Amino acid sequence: MRTLCLYLHQDAEPSVAEHFLKFSPRIHYRSPGLVFIDVTSTAKLFGGENQLMNAALSTARQIFPTASGAISDTPWGAQALLHERPESIIPPRCEIEELSVAPLSLLHHFEGLVAWRSAHEIERIIDFFYMLGLNKIGQIRQFEIDSFRQRWGEVGTLIWKRLHGIDQQIISPLLPTEALKEYAHLDFPISLLPFLLHRLEKMLQHLIARLQGRGEYATKIIVRLFCEYSAELHTLELQPTSPGRQFELFVKLLENKLTTINLDNPIQQIEVEVIPCPEKIQQLSFFEPRISDREKLSQLMSLLQQSGLTTGFLQPKDEVLPEKAWTLTTDFKVHQPLQDSVTIAGESFQIRPAYSAALSQAPRPSRLLIKPRALNLDEVKRLNFLSTQPIERLEDSWWDCARGRDYYFALSPKGEFVWLFYDQNEKQYYLHGFFD
C-alpha cells in the first residue's frame, strides 16, 4: 500500500478529510492535523505520486498555508518520513532501508492511523536504547520480538512489527456524512465589515473545498450571524440562479448582502450552512475556454438577483396584448413562430389556422410604457395623428373582459413618434409606447 501523509500544522475538524476526496476515496483524518490518503490505485490518474502529492499540497495550502506531506509504503512510515524529510517520497518497498538511518527519536512518529497511547512510554523506550548507545532506528532492529514484548508489552511488539514492516494498517473508504455546516464563536465580537467578511471567507473556503471533495454543488448558502446583545440574529441567504461552488461568486454575493446589515450590534457567533445538490458533469472540449460565457452570465445574474435586480433574456411570447407578449428567462429558447397546422387523414385533410400569427409581424414601438398612461383631452388635441383610422385593433379575451383597443400612430408636440390606443369601453386614449 502507498500512503500519502499530510500534516496541516494545526488541529482541524475531521471533516477536513473531505477536501482530499478527489485524490482517493480512502482517507483517514487523525488529530492533530494528520491526513492519511491511500494513493495506491489513484496516483497514476494524476501522472504519478509526485504530481499527486503536489496537487494535494496545493489543495491543503489554500486553507492551511504551512501544510507539508510525504509518501511512503505505510501510514506510520509516511508520518515518520514527513517529520524527517518533508515533501519527499520513499520508492516502493524501500521504506525499512530508508528509515533505518533515521534518528531513534523518530519512533514518536511511528504512529500512523492510531496515535501512541502515551508519548511518555515511547520516550522511555528511546531513552533505554540511548543508554545502550544505540541512536539509529536501524540499530534496534537486531533485537528479537520477545525482547520488545517482555520489556514493553503490547507497545513493544507493535514497534518491533513496524520496524520490520509486518504491521498492517488499512485505510477505509471515507463516507462523508457530516452536515455541511461551519460554526465559529468569536472571543472578540466583530462590528467592522472587512473583519467579518474575512472571517466568513475562511469559513466559505472550507465549505467549498468540502463540496469539491464530495463532488457536490451548493443550491443555497445560509449565513446566520448571532449578535452579542438582545439575542439579535441576521439571516442571509445566498442563492445563485444555478447551483455551483464558485468561491468568488459566493464571496461577492455575501459582500453584497453584508453591506445591508447594521453592525452596531457586534457579531459574536457565526453559522454557515450549505444546502448541497449533486454536481452536473459536463464533458468540455479541449479547445473551449474553461469558463464559458454562460457560466459568467449565470454568476452575474445571481449577483444582480441578490441585489434585488431582475435580469435575463427577453423572450417574445405569442400573446395578443403587447404588454403580455414577452417574458424574461435565464435560459434563452429560440421562439418558434405560429404556423397553420394541416392534418391529413386518408383522402381528407383538416387545416387548423393559427390565429393572430400576423401579430408577430405587426409594427411595435421600441419602448413600451410599463403601464399605459391615460391622456387627457388637451394632450390628445396636441397630438398629430398620422391616420384617421386605427392602424391596428387588438382585442383580447372578448368573451371575458375585452377592452377593444384601437391603436394609432401620432407625433407629439416634442416630435416624439408615439403609439397610443383608444379604449372602446372607457372611451379614453392611452399612451402606450414610443418609437424612440
Partner 1 sequence: MSKKALREKPDAFLETTQIDNLSTTRLEELKRELGPHLLSMEQVTPPSGLPTGWTQLDRFLLWHGFPKSSVSLLISESGGASSLWIRSAALVTQAGHWAAWMNDPHTRLTPWSLKHKNVDLSKLLWVSPAQSNKQTLWVMQELMSLCLFELIGCDLGQEQLKEHQILKLKKLSLRYGCAVVLITHAKNVLLSPFFSLILHFQRQHVTIIRALHRHTPHVLEKRDLYADTLPLLASGRRALCG
Applying CB under 8 A, the residues found at the interface with partner 1 are 293, 296-297, 300, 303-304, 307-316, 320, 322, 325-326, 328, 332, 334-335, 355-356, 358-370, 390-396, 398, 402, 409, 412, 414-417, 433-436
Least separation in angstroms between CB 217 and partner 1: 21
Q: Give the nearest distance from C-beta 401 to partner 1 in angstroms.
A: 12
Residue 177 or 310: the one with the smaller Cβ distance to partner 1 is: 310
Non-local CB neighbours of 333 within 8 Å, separated by 6+ positions: 315
Q: What angle do CA 156, 114, 168 make, to 5 degrees?
A: 70
**Rounded Cα gap, residues 285 and 318, in angstroms:** 37
Nearer to partner 1, 130 or 326 (CB): 326
- Burial (CB count within 10 angstroms: exposed 0-12, middle 13-18, buried 19+), residue 226: middle
Residue 314 to residue 317: CA distance in whole angstroms: 9
Report CA-CA distances (Å) from 397 to 15, 37, 46, 401, 432: 60, 68, 64, 6, 19
Cβ burial of 265 (10 Å; 0-12, 13-18, 19+) is middle
Q: How far is the CB of 62 from partner 1 (least distance, A)?
A: 23
**Cα–Cα distance for residue pair 352/424, rounded to 1 Å:** 30
C-beta of 210 vs 405, nearer to partner 1: 405
State residue 178 phi and psi, 5-degree precision: -70, 145
If one counts every other C-beta atom within 10 angstroms of the C-beta of residue 355, the result is 11
| 186 vs 297, beta carbon nearer partner 1 | 297
Q: For residues 185 and 382, which CB has a smaller minimum distance to partner 1 in the complex? A: 382
Grid cell of 192 as nine digits: 467592522
> What is the distance between the alpha carbons of residues 67 and 58, in angstroms, rounded to a whole number?
9
Q: What's the CA gap between 191 and 262, in Å, rounded? A: 9
Distance CA 367, CA 390 (A): 20
Residue 256: CB minimum distance to partner 1, A: 9
Q: How far is the CB of 237 from partner 1 (least distance, A)?
A: 20
Comparing CB distances to partner 1, the nearer of 51 and 259 is 259
Distance CA 290, CA 170 (A): 38
- Least distance between partner 1 and beta carbon 181 (Å): 30
Q: Which is nearer to partner 1, 229 or 326 (CB)?
A: 326
User: Which is nearer to partner 1, 165 or 312 (by Cβ)?
Assistant: 312
Report the nearest approach of partner 1 to the CB of residue 399 (Å).
9
What is d(CA 64, CA 196) in angstroms, rounded to the nearest whole number?
A: 20
Q: How far is the CB of 298 from partner 1 (least distance, A)?
A: 11
